[in-house]
Amino acid sequence: MKDIAIIGAGFSAATLSYFLKKDLIFYEKSRGVGGRCSTRRVDNIGLFDHGLQYIKSKNLEFKNFLGDYTIWEGQFKIFKNNELKEDLNKERIINENGNNTLIKNLFKNKKVFINKELISLDRKNDYFQLNFKDNTQENYKTLIITAPYQQAFNLTKQFTENYFAKLNFSMQPNLTLMVAFNKSLNLNLSAISFDDDDVLGFAANENTKKKILINKDLELWTIQSSLKYAIKNIYEYRNNKKSLMDEMLRSFSVKLKIDIKEDNIQYFDIHGWLYAYSTNLETDNCSWNLETANCYWNEDLRLGICGDWFSGGNAESAFLNAKKLAELI
Tell which positions 253-312 bind ligand FAD, by CB under 6 A: 273, 276, 307-308
Question: What pairing do the DSSP bridges indicate for beta strands 285-286 and 265-280?
Answer: antiparallel
- Of 48 and 267, nearer to ligand FAD (C-beta) is 48
Minimum distance from residue 7 beta carbon to ligand FAD (Å): 5
- Integer Cα distance of 72 and 20 in angstroms: 31
- Of 226 and 251, nearer to ligand FAD (C-beta) is 226
User: Which runs of consecutive H residues, i.e. helices, occur in the chain?
Assistant: 11-19, 60-66, 101-107, 149-165, 227-233, 241-256, 315-328
127 φ, ψ to 5°? -145, 170
> Residues 4, 5, 55, 220: which binds ligand FAD (CB under 6 A)?
55
Buried/exposed code over 235-265 (b: 16+ C-beta within 10 A; e: otherwise): eebeeebeebbebbbebbeebbeeeeeeebe
Minimum distance from residue 308 beta carbon to ligand FAD (Å): 3
> Residues 6, 293, 318, 326: which binds ligand FAD (CB under 6 A)?
318
Tell which positions 6-25 bind ligand FAD, by CB under 6 A: 7-13
83 φ, ψ to 5°? -135, 150
Minimum distance from residue 240 beta carbon to ligand FAD (Å): 18
User: Is residue 156 part of the contact set for ligand FAD (CB under 6 A)?
Assistant: no
Which candidate, 155, 137, 141, places its Cα nearest to that of 5? Answer: 141
Q: What is the torsional sign of CA 257, 260, 266, 268?
A: positive
Q: What character string, x for contact with ligand FAD (CB under 6 A) and - otherwise, covers 108-147? A: ---------xx---------------------------xx
Positions touching ligand FAD (CB under 6 A) are 7-13, 27-30, 35-37, 51-55, 117-118, 146-148, 151, 174, 176, 224, 273, 276, 307-308, 313-315, 318
